[in-house]
Structure 1
Amino acid sequence: MLVSAQAATMLALQDKMNAKVNPDWIAVRSPFLRAVVIEGSEAIEHHGWKWWKKQDCDLEQLQMELVDIWHFVLSAILIKHQGDQAKAQQEVFAELDQTSLTFDGNEFEFSQLSLLDKLELMIGLAAAKRYSVSLFSALLTDCQMSWDDLYAQYVSKNVLNFFRQDHGYKEGTYIKEWSGREDNEHLVEIMTKLDVKSDSYQDDLYSELNKRYQLLNVT
């Protein structure tokens, strides 16, 4: 189950990352829910939906799409509350345990929906400029992810994004391959050695990335 410290950390990280891209991101109100539509469609592709041919579900890629979607949902929540992270956090927990929602005059019980049905519902909501934290939570369960799993992957991806920016990603000087392996491979390896529940998890992750980056001399 998601805890308040995790929610607070993720909201703060999302605000910080968005502000790094555009300091006026709250006022600009970029179409983050449009991105949910696109990422949701990609998630459906990773699951497989074509009834006329054999397809295998790529669960790992599907989970990664959910992490991306959560970035955009958090951004939409923060915009709704004018960047007030405390109010945004209250909304997250107020809706977290709901088991159904009403959309277009119809009641949808999550327990009666397949994973693909849930993804389609999320896309429909996003296209209508809406979101549902409880629906997202139900999707996590279907994709065999806990909130701890999501938190670890979310924070790790944000830390890697910050690390890249701090080391010349925007300027084109960042070297993504370290000793023949991409940085995200090193990230996954480092994650397994750290305590995701530690208050210093994100700082520890950044520190370990930096040590490895310097040690390998990105060659």
Structure 2
Amino acid sequence: MLTSPQAATMLALQDKMNAKVNPDWVAVKSPFLRAVVIEAAEAIEHHGWKWWKKQDCDLEQLQMELVDIWHFILSAILIKHEGNQEKALQDVFTDLETSTVQFDGQTYTYHNLSLLQKLELMIGLAAAKRYDLGLFSALLADCQMQWDDLYAQYVSKNVLNFFRQDNGYKEGTYVKIWSGREDNEHLVEIMAKLDVKSENYQSDLYNELNARYQMLDMA
């Protein structure tokens, strides 16, 4: 189960990341839930949905899409509370264990839905400017993740986001494909080699990303 210190840490990291992109990010109120729509659609692609052809589920990339979605949900929660992290923290735990949601005149019970149906429901809610953390919890379980797993991957992706910004992501000069693979794929590979419980985990991860990225200049 998600702990209060974990949630508080992630909210603080998300605020710091967003402020790096735009110091006035709370006042600007960017459409973070629109980003959830796009990321959830990408998650469907990684799962596979085409009934007319054989497709294999890429579980690691599907999990990474959930981490991306979590970034945007945290941002939406922070905006809802005008950047107040204490109120946002309370909001996180308000519906974390819900098992149903009312949407479009219907009641949806999560355990009756497939993973793809849950992702479709998340898209519908996000398009309607809503989120439901009980639904997100159910998706974690479907993707074979615990909250501890999400926490570890979130911190890792946060490092990647800072790395992207430090290397020109906002200016459009960042190169996302390294040696034929997206930086997300490199991140998964590096994470597997490092100890997430290490005090130096964040710096070690950043340094390893940087070492690989510098190889582009040498190619």
Secondary structure (helix, strand or coil) at the match of 2:131 reads: coil
CA distance in structure 1 between the aligned counterparts of 2:132 and 2:172, rounded to whole angstroms: 37
CA distance in structure 2 between the aligned counterparts of 1:49 and 1:211, rounded to whole angstroms: 34
CA distance in structure 1 between the aligned counterparts of 2:22 and 2:66, rounded to whole angstroms: 24
For 2:131, the equivalent position in structure 1 comes to: 131
For 1:38, the equivalent position in structure 2 comes to: 38
For 1:85, the equivalent position in structure 2 comes to: 85
The offset of 1:50, in angstroms, is: 1.8
Equivalent residue for 1:210, pick from 202, 207, 211: 207
Q: Is the 8 A contact 1:67 1:150 kept in 2?
A: yes
- 1:60 equivalent in alignment to 2:60: yes
CA distance in structure 2 between the aligned counterparts of 1:38 and 1:6, rounded to whole angstroms: 26
Q: How do 1:128-207 and structure 2 match up within 5 A? A: 128-166=128-166, 187-188=187-188, 191-192=191-192, 194-197=194-197, 200=199, 204-207=201-204
For 2:115, the equivalent position in structure 1 comes to: 115
TM-score normalised by L of structure 2:
0.84
Secondary structure (helix, strand or coil) at the match of 2:160 reads: helix
Q: Is the 8 A contact 1:179 1:216 kept in 2?
A: no
CA distance in structure 1 between the aligned counterparts of 2:46 and 2:175, rounded to whole angstroms: 29
**Identity score, percent:** 75
- 1:23 equivalent in alignment to 2:23: yes
Tell me the alpha carbon deviations over residues 46-96 of structure 1, each in whole angstroms, 9 at most, x when there is no partner. Answer: 112222222222212211111111111111000000001111111111211
Q: How do 1:95-114 and structure 2 match up within 5 A? A: 95-114=95-114
Q: Is the 8 A contact 1:140 1:146 kept in 2?
A: yes
- For residue 207 of structure 2, what is the amino acid of its counterpart? N
- 1:4 equivalent in alignment to 2:11: no
CA distance in structure 2 between the aligned counterparts of 1:43 and 1:27, rounded to whole angstroms: 29
The offset of 1:196, in angstroms, is: 3.5
- For residue 206 of structure 1, what is the amino acid of its counterpart? S
| Structure 2 unaligned regions, length at least 5 | none
Distance change >3 Å, CA 169–CA 104, structure 1 → 2 = closer
Q: Is the 8 A contact 1:46 1:57 kept in 2?
A: yes
Aligned length: 216
Q: Is the 8 A contact 1:96 1:133 kept in 2?
A: yes
Q: How do 1:66-81 and structure 2 match up within 5 A? A: 66-81=66-81
TM-score normalised by L of structure 1:
0.84
Tell me the alpha carbon deviations over residues 94-153 of structure 1, each in whole angstroms, 9 at most, x when there is no partner. Answer: 211111111122111111011111001000000000001110010010011111111111
